[in-house]
Chain A
Amino acid sequence: MIASSNGWWFPGDAMSPLGKRIDELFYLILGIVTVVFVGTQFALGYVIWKGATKKDGESAEFSHGSHSLELIWTIVPAFVLVFIALYQMDVWAEFRVQSYYPEQTQEDGPKFEVTARQFEWRIRYPEAGQPLKNQPEPQDLYAVNEIHVPTGRPVKFNLRTDDVQHAFFAPELRVKQDAVAGLIIPVWFEIPVAGEYQLLCAELCGWGHYKMRAIIVAEPQDKVNEYLARLKEDQDFDGVVKDAEEE
């Protein structure tokens, strides 16, 4: 806890609601593991100390098997493990099982597609008001290494890869999902606070792995719409600047 409050080795605060729950699980498990680790180390130390303080001539006791001891150290950890297994289930389901994704994402459908490739992230948005299709549509909008999402609502997107395996890793959001060749994987996250968040590749994908850095920009929905409008304007640019726009 001291280390945590000082930020030693620990990731900063999770920036998504699900991320906060993942963190709670992490710290719970860390607590259990700490108790077990310290306890067993003390027990080991005690046994060594006992043996070392035996007087000369005193012989060691030999015991073989203790039924009750065996039961205790099997059942207690089993309970702990089963408890963890059950306790984390809803978080896991919400994170990975599509039918448990937030209702909002089920209604909205995927908002954009992220295609990882050596060594960048290519983003494809559908035309405003249109659903995202798996195959490109004529009016789709394209971006590289920059994702704009609305704040305060769960956003689902499709993750795919053009070549080898990559992993979509947004550390502040606690999202890490492999992109697997041939699969279209729906992923979701929610960002309550507007800001820029990191996106990295977390699967060593080649010599340019480190180059796969991108940003996720969370902002109010109208700002996202403005961004998409800008993207569309740029994508439709025909090189002719109207006189009116030139002043």
Chain B
Amino acid sequence: MLVKTNRQFTILTIGLALVSFAGCSGSSDYPEAFKSRFVYSDRTDSLIAEAQNGIGELPGVKKLVDDRFGDPQDLMAWTKLPIDFGGISGKLAETPDASIAVKELKISFDGELATAENETILLQFVTGTAAPSVVVVNAWQPETGLASLSAAMEVAPAAGDEVIVGGGQKLVHGRGLYMRHCSHCHGTSGDGAGPTAQYLTPRPRDYRHGVFKFTSTDALSKASKDDLSRVLRNGIPGTYMPSFVPMLNEDDLADVVEYVRFLAMRGEFERKVVSELASDYSEEAVKSRRDSGESRKDIVEELKSFLAEDMQDSLEFVTDDLSGRWDSANSEDALVVPEIARVEDTIESRRIGRELYLSKTINCADCHGISAKGNGPQTTIYEENPVTKQLYTEPGLHDVWDNVNQPRNLTQGIYRGGRRPIDLFRRIHAGIKGSRMPSFKNLKHEDIWHIVNYVLSVPFNAEPGHAPVATSEDPATAASL
């Protein structure tokens, strides 16, 4: 059957095997060599084996991740995550009489349950005592909301229990599209290491940090669904990310976005769980602990008691943080909206923008250079890797993915995050996440607009290093230069 029970959290299981290999006995028939796998991060591999794989019954990082996310053939829909997994959900309208065998349920669905004739309806319980069991509906009467089951239920459900039909459809659809169009660069696990990734500069995004660069949300928020779909729609000029419209339609885009968010959350969940363990139980930490006299056996005992007693709390914390942040990114509060409309793009405004650009406090020129060619003094320094505390071997600014990520040459007129004034405003207000472009959210919005006006004028100035001046006595002509 398609459901795996886990008492600690609710999960819907989405079986690919069930979808495309109806009649076969299940995913075990899939030839081993052709199975796609999610890979674990290097940081997971840096832990000692016991922390990775668990001790006895106690799950390690790998199992904790797999239980919640599954693998590409057998995706899990962890209902704690703010992901639209698809399907039509509903609620049990009446508590069935438990004194007789429950073979009929009265359900009210949120949407219309459209099913083809002869199609088997699988109804899964999401909450209540019957969760996460699945029942087969033989006949469904939309008028009365009555569903006749093929067999009596083992556990009687109660009114208000949430149910879902076709749960995970969106995720499965998104996965199919992702595997076809995205995975060759972004990788099956979203690690940015697909087979064609090595040919690309800049490198395709590794989603597993949960960080996306170009967002409409404030500095501390995640990317919203709209941000991701905008990138799919428009591509990213200056990189190899193309536009996927009109090849994909609106539904396709939405489903790919959900799947990418799913991969990002999987990666981030894994990272955070590893972070709970890394300081004490990485190979390196264990080595230095043994050097200072602890025995490996004691360390493993300690890990065992940590996994048994403290892990649950850690997981709850990690989960709440993860789901809360990915959820709130879609709220209106997270959106960066200027308080005032764009300041009129005059020579004077550009001049003020130029002054702010060069000013000591904002100092755009420190990275982007006095001539805005992306060659400021910061681009030649050797940075320290914030994780390993060692100097990078290459000079220049690095992003959180450890790639050299030099500041943009603003004279080229290529704007990766979009060329609308609001896009540039948001880049300055919220920064570019994961990169060294910081957030300037404390600037007056008027000043940000001056800088936007200056930056947008840079590609059209013969000498971008010079402050814009009126070249004509008629200011109207000069302004439209």
- The segment from A43-51, A148-156, A230-238 that touches chain B is A230-238
Given contacts A207-B196, A240-B337, A240-B341, contact A144 B422 (CB under 8 A): no
Q: List 15 A-B contacts (CB under 8 A).
A: A117-B242, A118-B242, A119-B242, A122-B237, A144-B235, A145-B245, A212-B242, A214-B246, A236-B342, A237-B421, A238-B341, A239-B336, A239-B421, A240-B341, A242-B341
Contacts of A142 in B (CB 8 A): 419
Cβ of A138 and Cβ of B247 under 8 Å apart? Answer: no
Query: What does the 1/0 interface line of A131-151 toward B look like (CB < 8 Å)?
Result: 000001110001011100000
Asked if A238 and B243 make an inter-chain contact with CB atoms under 8 angstroms apart, the answer reads no
Given contacts A122-B237, A136-B413, A138-B460, contact A238 B421 (CB under 8 A): yes
In the complex, A146 Cα to B234 Cα: how many Å?
Answer: 11
* B289 contacts A by Cβ under 8 Å: no
A213 within 8 A of B: yes
Contact digits for A107-119, partner B, Cβ 8 Å, 1 yes 0 no:
0000000000111
Q: Are B235 and A120 in contact (CB under 8 A)?
A: yes
Pairwise interchain contact A120-B243, C-beta atoms closer than 8 A: yes
The minimal Cβ–Cβ distance linking A138 to chain B, given in whole angstroms, is 5
Contact B420 A234 (CB under 8 A): yes
Q: Is B40's CB within 8 Å of the partner chain A?
A: no
Query: Does B336 contact A211, Cβ atoms closer than 8 Å?
Result: no
* CB <8 Å contact, B422 and A239: yes
Q: Which residues of B contact A208 (CB under 8 A)?
A: 240, 242
Question: Is A118 touching B240 in the complex (CB atoms < 8 A)?
Answer: yes
A-chain residues with CB within 8 Å of residue B80 when the two chains form the complex: none
In this assembly, does B378 line the interface, its C-beta being within 8 Å of a C-beta of chain A? no
State the CA gap A234–B233 with chains docked (Å): 14
Q: Are B247 and A213 in contact (CB under 8 A)?
A: yes
Within residues 94 to 135 of chain A, which ones have a CB less than 8 A from any CB in chain B?
A: 117-120, 122
Interface residues of B (CB under 8 A from A): 181, 184, 196, 233-235, 237, 240, 242-247, 336-338, 340-342, 413, 419-422, 425-426, 449, 456-457, 459-460, 481
Q: Other than the known A145-B243, A214-B246, what 15 A-B pairs have Cβ atoms closer than 8 Å?
A: A118-B242, A122-B237, A136-B413, A138-B457, A145-B245, A146-B246, A235-B419, A235-B420, A237-B420, A237-B421, A238-B341, A238-B342, A238-B420, A238-B421, A240-B341
Let me know if A213 and B341 touch, CB within 8 A. Answer: no
Residues on A close to B: CB < 8 A?
A: 117-120, 122, 136-138, 142, 144-146, 207-208, 211-215, 234-240, 242
* Complex interface: chain B residues within 8 A of A120 (CB): 235, 242-243
Please measure, in the bound complex, the distance between the C-alpha atom of A208 and the C-alpha atom of B245, giving whole angstroms: 14
Q: With the chains together, A237 CA to B230 CA distance in Å?
A: 15
Q: How far is the CA of A76 from the CA of B184 in the complex (A)?
A: 55
Minimal Cβ-Cβ distance residue in B for A214:
B246
Q: Which residues of A contact B460 (CB under 8 A)?
A: 137-138
By beta carbon, the residue of chain B nearest A212 is B242
CB–CB B244/A211 < 8 A: yes
Q: Which residues of A contact B181 (CB under 8 A)?
A: 211
Q: What is the minimal beta-carbon distance from B307 to any residue of chain A, in angstroms? A: 43
Q: Which of A145, A215, A237 has the most CB of B within 10 A?
A: A145
Identify the closest chain A residue to B181 (Cβ).
A211
Q: Which residues of A contact B233 (CB under 8 A)?
A: 144
4 closest Cβ contacts across the A-B interface? A239-B422, A238-B342, A120-B242, A144-B243
